[in-house]
């Protein structure tokens, strides 16, 4: 616990602060109170945890350190792509689990790999779900890579030489 003298010094020093001066500092400071904001409200669906999306976005911001609102927007796009990819993985897992549960109870003694292979065969024959999941995974992967490339190209173009 801080002593009275330490607390008084902290108050006095805090009163001297005029806030961040650089554009990067101002951009970072502007997001201090943001926990998940409007973006997560339009991306996170029922049953998903908005705080996890916020953590993903914060992690990408910490690693990539946006220097302006354009870079920050690109980083938000990266977070959305990753979030959707994770959603697809959850959907694929749920579909496999559901198909395995539908199998004859006598197959429970078979190996997990064999039951999963049988589920894959059934899902491939009976529905287009796996094809759709695979197509969307490729789409989000390409979008993620394009956005990341765009971010790095922008930085290269705007970096002082």
Residue 36 lies in a domain: yes
Q: Is 53 exposed, middle or buried (0-12, 13-18, 19+ CB in 10 A)?
A: buried
Q: Which domain holds residue 38?
A: 21-158
Tell me what pLDDT residue 42 has. Answer: 84
Alpha helices in the chain (DSSP H): 4-16, 23-30, 37-43, 50-64, 69-102, 112-126, 129-158
Compute CA distances 109 → 14, 23, 87, 113, 120, whole Å.
67, 63, 31, 12, 18
Give CA–CA dist 20/33, Å, rounded.
Answer: 15
> Does residue 111 fall inside a structural domain?
yes
Handedness of CA 28, 45, 48, 117 (dihedral sign): negative
13 in a domain, yes or no?
no
* Cα torsion through 13, 17, 23, 27, rounded to 10: 80
DSSP 46: T
Global pTM? 0.70
Nearest CA among 144, 133, 140 for reference residue 88: 133
* Domain count of the fold of the chain: 1
| Residue 138 domain flag | yes
Q: Is residue 149 part of a domain?
A: yes
pLDDT of amino acid 144: 98
- The reply to whether 151 falls in a domain is yes
**Local mean pLDDT, 10-residue blocks, the chain (161 residues):** 74 71 66 53 90 95 96 96 96 89 76 84 82 93 97 91 67
* pLDDT score, position 122: 83
6 occurs within a structural domain:
no
| Residues recorded for the chain | 161
Specify if 2 maps to a domain.
no
């Amino acid at each position: 616990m801080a002593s009275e003298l330490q607390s008084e010094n902290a108050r006095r020093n805090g009163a001297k602060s005029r806030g961040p001066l650089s554009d990067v500092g101002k951009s970072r400071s502007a997001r201090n109170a943001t926990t998940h904001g409007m973006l997560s409200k339009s991306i996170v669906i029922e049953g998903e945890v908005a705080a996890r999306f916020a953590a993903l976005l914060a992690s990408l911001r910490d690693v990539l350190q946006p220097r302006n609102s354009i870079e920050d927007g690109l980083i938000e796009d990266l977070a959305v792509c990753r979030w959707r990819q994770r959603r697809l993985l959850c959907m694929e897992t749920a579909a496999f689990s559901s198909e395995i549960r539908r199998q004859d109870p006598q197959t429970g003694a078979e190996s997990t790999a064999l039951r999963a292979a049988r589920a894959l065969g059934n899902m491939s024959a009976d529905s287009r779900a796996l094809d759709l999941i695979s197509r969307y995974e490729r789409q989000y992967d390409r979008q993620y890579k394009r956005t990341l490339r765009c971010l790095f190209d922008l930085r290269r173009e705007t970096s002082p030489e």
